[in-house]
Chains A and B, each alone.
Chain A
Amino acid sequence: MKIPHVLNRKNRILLSELTKTDFKLRYQNSVLGYLWALLRPLMMFAILYVVFAKLLRFGGDIPHYPVYLLCGTTMWSFFTECTSQGIQSIVSRGDLLRKINFPKYIVVVSSTLTAVINMLINLVVVAIFALINGVEPSWNWLLVFPVLIELYLLSLGLAFLLGSINVKFRDITSIWDVIVQALFYAVPIIYPVSMIAGVSDLAAKVILLNPIAQTIQDIRFNLITTETLTTWNYVANPAVIIPPLIVIVVLITGALVFRKKSKYFAEEI
């Protein structure tokens, strides 16, 4: 795969058309259509807010806790949507892969782009919510984007890696569902890291070495409150490079595995 060819004219056309199609197919035949994409993280937020913030009284010491929670659910939805769509993309586009020859990564990337679009729109909702909640807008908000790219690259790497394996072993889809459920509790979305830190310093640090936790905390830090505990300010030793390192390793492994396996997708799907 030569770099100049990766996004040549033909591939760009295909990528945008596939993304558009994915998008249209997902939201047609529903009354509220695209609104659902926005409503899903909001609904999830509403439920979690009632259960954890109101009933269990989590996050009492965190300023703007509702925005904090919404930001977490939005990012989490992005990660799960990106990976689950990406993992299934090769199999669900099997008909296309079997019949014509085009760079196969386009299938994976196009399926994750829908999640990116949803996330960006949700991000606007989060920003509005933050302003209503009295968060002061700042230039720090712009720092959210590099962090989002990190989260996206992690999801993409996982999609390439697991999607390739899923062609032969369809169990991956189910296994990933379970892993996602477990990860949800391993990532500080509903509970603040400070709550864990109060019990065990080490546990909090370990939690923050997860790149998903790192990115979500960084986004909260830049977007909502600098009181957020992040990998950078809490782990604060050379171990801080572990989360980005994980992202790089996952992305490279994913790309290599995908490159090797993609030659045989047409035969094996």
Chain B
Amino acid sequence: MKRSFGTRTEINDPNQPAIVVKNLHKSFRLPTEQSFGLKQAIFNRLRGIKGYKEQKVLKGLNFEIKQGEFVGIVGRNGSGKSTLLKILAGTYYPEKGNVVVNGDLVPFIELGVGFNPELTGRENVYMNGALLGFSNKEMDAMYDDIWDFAELKEFQDQKLKNYSSGMQVRLAFSIAIRARGDILLLDEVLAVGDAAFQRKCFGYFAELKKEKRTVILVTHSMESVQTFCDRAIMIEDGKIIVDGSPLKVSKKYLESNNRNIKQDNVGEDKTTNYIQASAKSTVTSESVQLSFTIKPKQKLEDFVIAVGINKNDGQQIYRWASDEKIKTPIVFEANQSYKLNLKLANYFPHDKYNVVLLIKSLDRSIDFGDFFNITNFEIISTNPYQSTTHWQIPEEYELQS
């Protein structure tokens, strides 16, 4: 039954890095049959069945975290992030390799650990505090502050089961931020709740950064990585694939998330009195390509072609107009097909989008054709460019007959 050769040591030396991980491996034994029983275990042994299958989760991680560094750990679901976090926190045991934790580590992975719905808020605060290492006396001293911060004072003698989930999270968070460790493990899942609560969480993260505490933040949000982290590590399939600047890691993360997503969307032909038009969109991990086919029924002069990309909630996040981009006048002959190709870098946040094609006279007084939702596309990703307001999409365009 000997299966652990890994070690996790705790030291206390201000001259050493905060965390050193060397060649860390971890695998789990997943029961193939229901083996939570003596009977099954005996049967398996008799039949020579192992009764489990080995799943490798971490495959040799190496990294160091310096004192005072704010490091983000990113990776898609199932990449091994949580397992790594649990090994750092000491709840899971390393299978192979060494982990050295220097100083007092406070895991902030889950809120409200040990919360019991049958106990009152007051009792839960003391229990939760004890898990963070605070004695009753210390808890007495900070008791009022905790309730003030959570804004729940009037509920302190109610049983926890009568709290809403949001209230429980607020209470747990208010206790958790009292923890004074040298190294903090944070999971951004914490920052759930309403906008006001999220602001409090992010305010706390910012404060930690200002205090130069050693923090490991696990997150899916590249915005947080870029806002708070000095460095980031991306894990995929149990291995570190990038370890570097937040921007570098964000880009890699975006690529990885967009991989294998190529969609083609051909819109229907639409017709107005003046124009027949159709559009096609192609999304890859690098770009969004829109190609429009425009066929006027009569000769068009002094006109403008405008393209808009809207989120499905109506917010416009990109627009292109021919009179701003193409200086020479355009003339379209009757009954001839023209193609407009627009290639945009795929900086689009995860969402659904629709495309609008508008063809108007130069002074915008005559509508030759309003083609709403001429095509649409969907971006499935979590990319580093969360905000839709502060960036310009690199674009290429081409107009051909």
Q: Which residues of A contact B (CB under 8 A)?
A: 9-10, 13-14, 16-18, 21, 24-25, 28-29, 95-102, 168-172, 260, 263-264, 266-267
Contacts and interface: CB of A to CB of B under 8 A. Distances in A.
A99 B36 contact: no
Interface string B71-112: 000000000000000100111110000000000000101100
Interface residues of B, number: 31
Contacts of A28: 118
Contacts of B91: 97-101, 266
B35 to A, nearest CB: 8
B221 interface: no
- The winner among A14, A28, A100 for most chain B CB atoms within 10 A is A100
B130 A25 contact: no
Contacts of B28: 267
Nearest to A100: B113
A10 B4 contact: no
B123 interface: yes
A17 B37 contact: no
Contacts of A98: 91
A21 B28 CA distance: 33
A171 B131 contact: no
Contacts of A260: 1
B37 to A, nearest CB: 6
B298 interface: no
Contact of A21 (B109, B110, B127): B127
Interface of B: 1, 4, 28, 36-39, 41, 86, 89-93, 107, 109-110, 113-114, 116, 118-119, 123, 126-127, 130-131, 133-136
A171 B37 contact: yes
A95 B117 CA distance: 13
Contacts of A13: 130, 133-136
Given A16-B130, A21-B127, A169-B36, 7 more contacts: A13-B133, A97-B91, A100-B107, A100-B114, A168-B36, A168-B41, A263-B4
Given A96-B113, A266-B86, A267-B28, A21 B123 contact: yes
Contacts of B36: 168-170
Q: Which residue, A14, A18, A98, A99, has most C-beta atoms of chain B within 10 A?
A: A99
A260 B132 CA distance: 25
Contact of B116 (A16, A25, A170): A25
20 contacts: A14-B130, A17-B126, A17-B136, A18-B130, A24-B123, A25-B118, A95-B114, A96-B114, A96-B131, A98-B91, A99-B109, A100-B89, A100-B113, A101-B107, A102-B131, A169-B38, A169-B41, A170-B36, A171-B39, A263-B93
A170 B35 CA distance: 10
A101 B93 contact: no
A99 B131 CA distance: 11
Contacts of B41: 168-169
A99 B176 CA distance: 14
A24 B93 CA distance: 33
Nearest to B115: A95
A101 B116 contact: no
Nearest to B41: A169
Contacts of A95: 113-114
B123 A267 contact: no
User: 5 tightest CB-CB pairs across the interface, nearest first?
Assistant: A101-B90, A17-B130, A263-B93, A266-B91, A10-B133
Nearest to B4: A263
Contact of B92 (A14, A16, A266): A266
A171 B39 CA distance: 9
Nearest to A29: B118
Q: Point out which of B37, B109, B127 has the most chain A C-beta atoms below 10 A from its C-beta.
A: B127
Contacts of B1: 260
Contacts of A97: 91
Contacts of B107: 99-101
A8 B18 CA distance: 23
A29 B36 CA distance: 33
A45 to B, nearest CB: 30
Nearest to B110: A99
Contacts of B89: 100-101
Contacts of A170: 36-37
Contacts of B90: 101
Nearest to A167: B36
A49 B113 CA distance: 46
Contacts of A16: 130
Contacts of B123: 21, 24
Nearest to A172: B38
A33 to B, nearest CB: 14
B10 to A, nearest CB: 10
B93 A25 contact: no
Nearest to B89: A101
Contacts of B110: 99
B93 to A, nearest CB: 4
Nearest to B39: A171
Nearest to B88: A101
A99 B90 CA distance: 9
A24 B116 CA distance: 11
B119 A24 contact: yes
Nearest to A263: B93
Contacts of A266: 86, 91-92
Nearest to B137: A13
A263 B127 CA distance: 24
A101 B133 CA distance: 12
Contacts of B4: 263
